Amino acid sequence: MKIGAVVLAAGKASRFGAPKQLLEIDGVSLIDRSCRTALEAGCGPVLRVLGAHAESILERPCPEGVETLVHAGWEEGMGSSLAAGVSDLLERAPELEVVVVMLADQPMVTVRLLEEMRGRLCEASIVLCDHGEATGPPALFGAQHFAELMALRGDRGAKAVAVNHRTVTVPFTDAAWDIDSPEAWERFLRRSRG
C-alpha cells in the first residue's frame, strides 16, 4: 500500500507568539520530529506544508526524504493548507492510495500509532485518532477521499471530510498534546521530564 504524508506546519502560531514548529525536543524541532515519524512509519513522499514562518523554517536543513511546499494562501486557514498539500503530494506521487494528515505540533505521535492506524484501513477508508475528548489528527484517508480533501477551503480541515463518511478510530490520548501556547509547552516539558 502506497502511503504519503502531509505534515501541516503553515499556521502563524499566534497563541504561542513564536514559530512553535521550531521548538526542540532533544535537539530535534517539532516539525522535523513529525516528518521523521512519518518517514519511519513507511510514508513516502512526506510533504511539509509551510506558510507563516516559512523563512525561519527554511533556514534550517530539512530531514532527508522530506519535500516542502510553501503555501502562499496559508492565511485562508487549515483547510486551504491541507488542500494545497494533498494536491502537491499527488502531483509528486499520483500512485498514492492513502494520505496521512499530521500536525507539526503533536510531539507524542509515534511510529507505532501510525502503523496501528494503517492496520485499521481494512475496516474503513478513514482512520482517525481518538484523543479522548475528541477525534482528529493524525488521520488517514483512502484515495476515494482525495478529491474532497483537495476541495477544502478556509479553516475547515479534514474533519469536514470525515463527518460525511464511515470512520474507525484508534485510541491514543497522548495525541491530544498539541502545543498551542507557551503554557502548554511548559506543561509538556514538565511531563516529559517525568
For residue 192, pLDDT over 80 is answered with: no
More confident residue, 27 or 176: 27
- The second-level CATH assignment, the architecture, of 3-193 is Alpha-Beta Complex (3.90)
Residue length of the chain = 194
Residue pair 40/2 in contact (Cβ under 8 Å)? The answer is no
**Per the structure block, which three cell numbers stand in for 158?**
479534514
pTM of the model: 0.91
Where does residue 186 rank: exposed (0-12), middle (13-18), buried (19+ CB within 10 A)?
exposed
More confident residue, 47 or 173: 47
For residue 132, pLDDT over 70 is answered with: yes
| Mean pLDDT score, 141-154 | 95
Q: What percent of the chain has pLDDT over 90?
A: 59
Residue pair 158/85 in contact (Cβ under 8 Å)? The answer is no
CB atoms within 10 A of CB 163: 9
pLDDT single digits (tens) 6-63: 999 988 755 665 677 887 888 889 999 999 999 999 999 999 999 988 998 999 888 8
C-alpha span between 147 and 133 (Å, rounded): 29
